[in-house]
Amino acid sequence: MQMQTSADGHVEAADPAVQWQVWDWGQNWPWDDELKRDFNETFRAVDRILLSRKMVEEGYIDHWTRIAESHPDEPDFAFARKVGDAEKIVFSTAREGGHLRWPRTRWAAAGLAATIARLKAGPGADMIAFGGTGFVAALAGAGVVDEYQLYVNPTAVGRGESLFRSVAGGLRLTLVRSKSYACGIVVNTYTSAGQVNP
C-alpha cells in the first residue's frame, strides 16, 4: 500500500485550497532525481496494481495513460507506462458487473481477502495498492498488507482526512526503512505488527 501523507498524517486537507503535496501528479514533477529513481524502482518490480473503485472513477488509469502518452521515452515516467502495462484489479463493496473499458483491467472476482490470498499464492511479481482511507482500512482489516509505504510531504494541513481513520482497533506498525530526500519528502516503510486492540 502506497500513500502520500502530510507531516501531520492527513491524506486530504479539510480545505481543498490547501496544496499540501510537493507534487500534484501533473506534468511538472518537482521531486528530486533520487526520489524519482526510487519511485520508479518500486514500480519496476510490480506486475499487478490493486485499486479501489473510487480511485478508478476519479481517473487514476486515465490520468496515467495520458501522462505515459505524453512522455513515451522519458525514464522518469516509466512508472506511468507500467500503470498501463500492469494487470489492474478493481475492488468494490458493491456488486459490480460489466466490462471495464481499460486494457488488462478487471473486477476482483471474490472478496478482498480471498482475492489477494489467491494472487499472492499464484505466479507473478509484486503487487501495489492505491485507494482512499476506506480501502486502506479494508486491506488492513483483512491483514493482507505486507508493506505500507508512506510518502510524507513537508507540509501540515491542520485538519483533514487521517490515513488510518477507518482502521478499527488501531494498527501497530514496525518501521523497516526510512529515507529522506532533497525535495523534503521522507518515505517511511512499515510492516504491520497487528492491531492495537484486536
DSSP single-letter state for residue 172: -
Question: Residue 33 has what pLDDT?
Answer: 93
Is residue 160 within 8 A of residue 12, CB to CB? The reply is yes
Distances (CA, A) of 145 to 2, 42, 123: 10, 16, 18
Q: What is the pLDDT of residues 96-139, one digit of tens each?
A: 667 788 999 999 877 888 999 999 998 887 999 999 888 888 88
Enumerate residue ranges in the chain where pLDDT < 50.
none
Query: Domains of the chain, with CATH numbers?
Result: 2-13+28-192 (3.40.430.10)
Query: Of all helices (H) and strands (E), which one includes residue 5?
Result: strand 2-5
Is residue 74 within 8 A of residue 33, CB to CB? The reply is no
Question: Residue 189 has what pLDDT?
Answer: 98
* Distance between CA atoms of residues 163 and 171, nearest Å: 11
* Distance between CA atoms of residues 66 and 183, nearest Å: 25
- Alpha-carbon torsion angle 7, 25, 140, 18, nearest 10: 40
Round the average pLDDT of the chain to a whole number and report it.
89
Supply 120's cell numbers.
Answer: 499472492
In this structure, which amino acid lies at residue 178? S
Supply 84's cell numbers.
Answer: 498501463
Question: Residue 195 has what pLDDT?
Answer: 67
* Distance between CA atoms of residues 42 and 150, nearest Å: 13
* Distance between CA atoms of residues 4 and 110, nearest Å: 28
